[in-house]
Amino acid sequence: MSSQHGVPLAAPGDREDLRPDCADCFGLCCVALPFARSADFAVTKAAGEPCSHLRTDFRCGIHERLRDRGYAGCTVFDCFGAGQKVSQVTFGGTDWRQAPETARAMVEVFPVMRQLHELLWYVTEALGLAAARPVHGELRRARDRLDGLTRGSAESIAGLDVPALRGEVNPLLLRAGELARAHVPGPRKNHRGADLVGAKLSGAALRGASLRGALLVAADLSGADLRDADLIGADLRDADLGGADLTGALFLTQAQLDSARGDAATVLPAALSRPAHW
């Protein structure tokens, strides 16, 4: 894939191992994670308790009807491939039903692995940005270290200090994003960490803006120009992205898109898919 400025050099397939593969997972997101009865979940479930809809083959019994049955929260979760890594690598393909004594360890390891894989997703994306070459060396070292940590023992993974790891990686991602956005002409808006809940931003000129960690819950971003915007950690729940242009948007994830609203006119980055509910 050719590239210039902030457009990725690497093909989207370069992150295939960081995408969920439920066929190789022991339904860990349906077991390890807790949820409370709310608009996102029909019932309350404790961490370590299998969801009542989890089948014996570790697939969801209501997968095609999750939203209709009150489990919208499940449809926006992305493990970044952590499920199959824990199932097939950390525990060597032995599931918690075959070996109940492993269940507790899997429950402890899965959330940590998910965070490691999310960091790997961002670092890999940054390595595909041509403009971020000045930090590629540091990014490669960070990626190799993170990958090595994901291949450790269950005990070593569960004991990792993930906030400290994020503290090491985030400055590199910030620098990569700044370098990738530097080519955008004119002033670039800075809404990093801003409270934009319900904001009226229809048609807004946000090309190259920093929206890192911004609260955009239920914001109207219809028709907005979000090309090359840094969206790492932005909360897009129920945000209206109808007709918005997200070409080259940096560090945007499938989970963020799945939590938002869009339409056939929304332009997406090549590595992401249009949510089925749009």
Domains by residue range for the chain, with CATH: 12-33+77-181 (no CATH), 185-278 (2.160.20.80)
Q: Is the pLDDT of residue 9 over 70?
A: no
What is the average pLDDT across 49-57? 96
pLDDT at residue 12 is higher than 80: no
Tell me the β-bridge partners of 240.
Answer: 220, 261
Describe the crossing of helices 136-150 and 162-181 by its angle, rounded to 10 degrees: 150
Flag whether pLDDT at 13 surpasses 90: no
Strand partners, 35: 45
39, 36, 33, 197: which is closest to 115 by C-alpha? Answer: 33
Average pLDDT over residues 188-200: 97
Q: Is the pLDDT of residue 3 over 60?
A: no
Residue-level pLDDT at 55:
96
Contact 216, 195 (CB under 8 A): no
Tokens of 275: 């949510």
Residue 16: pLDDT band (50, 70, 90) is confident
pTM greater than the 0.85 cutoff: yes
Name the band, by pLDDT with cuts 50, 70 and 90, for residue 1. Answer: very low
Q: What is the pLDDT of residue 6?
A: 40
Residue pair 175/232 in contact (Cβ under 8 Å)? The answer is no
Sign of CA dihedral 269, 275, 276, 277: negative
Cα(142)–Cα(91) distance, integer angstroms:
24
